[in-house]
Amino acid sequence: MQFCSQKFFLFFLLVFVLYWALPWRRVRVGLLLAASFYFYASWNKWLALLICVSTLLDYLLALGIEHSTAMWRRKLLLCVSLFANLGLLCYFKYANFFLTSLHDALKVVGMSTSFHTLNVLLPVGISFYTFEAINYVVDVYRRRIPAERNLGDFMLFILFFPHLIAGPIVRARDFLPQIKRPKRWSWARMHLGTGYVLMGLVKKLAIADRMAEYVDPVFADPSAYRGSAIVFAALAYAVQIYCDFSGYSDMALGTAHMLGYKLARNFNLPYLAVNVADFWHRWHISLSSWLRDYLFIPLGGSRGGRWQTARNLLITMTLGGLWHGANWTFVFWGAFHGVLLVIHRAFHNFSKARPQLERFLQSVSGTVLRRLLTFTCVAIGWVFFRAPTFGTAFTLLHRVAVWHSGLGTPIPMLNLRWTLLFLGICHAVAYWVPWRKLWRIPAPIQGFAYAAALVLAQVFAPDAGKVFIYFQF
Other C-beta atoms closer than 10 Å to the C-beta of 110 total: 6
Residues 6+ apart with CB under 8 A from 182: 25
Q: Please name the amino acid found at residue 197.
A: V
Counting other chains too, the contacts that 11-17 makes at CB distance below 8 Å and 24 or more residues apart are 11/35, 11/38, 11/39, 12/255, 15/259, 16/258, 16/259
End-to-end CA distance of the chain: 17
DSSP string, 45-67: HHHHHHHHHHHHHHHHHHHHHHH
Q: Is 284 a catalytic residue?
A: no
DSSP string, 141-184: HTTSSPPP--HHHHHHHHH-HHHHTT-PPPPHHHHHHHHHS---
Cβ distance 396 to 222 under 8 Å? yes
Give whole-number Cα distances, 56 to 3, 64, 391, 446, in Å.
Answer: 27, 12, 44, 45
**Buried b / exposed e along 356-371 (16+ C-beta atoms within 10 A):** eeeeebeeeeeeeebb
How big is the CA angle at 21 (ends 18 and 22), to the nearest 5 degrees?
A: 90
CA 177 and chain centroid, separation? 24
In whole angstroms, give the CA distance from residue 227 to residue 349. Answer: 36
3-state secondary structure of 289: helix
Q: Between helices 45-67 and 71-89, what is the axis angle to 10°?
A: 170
Instruction: Kindly name the residue from 163, 284, 324, 344 that is annotated as catalytic.
Output: 324
Give whole-number Cα distances, 262 to 17, 145, 175, 176, 339, in Å.
Answer: 19, 19, 8, 11, 35
Q: Please name the amino acid found at residue 451.
A: A
| Residue positions annotated with a catalytic role | 324
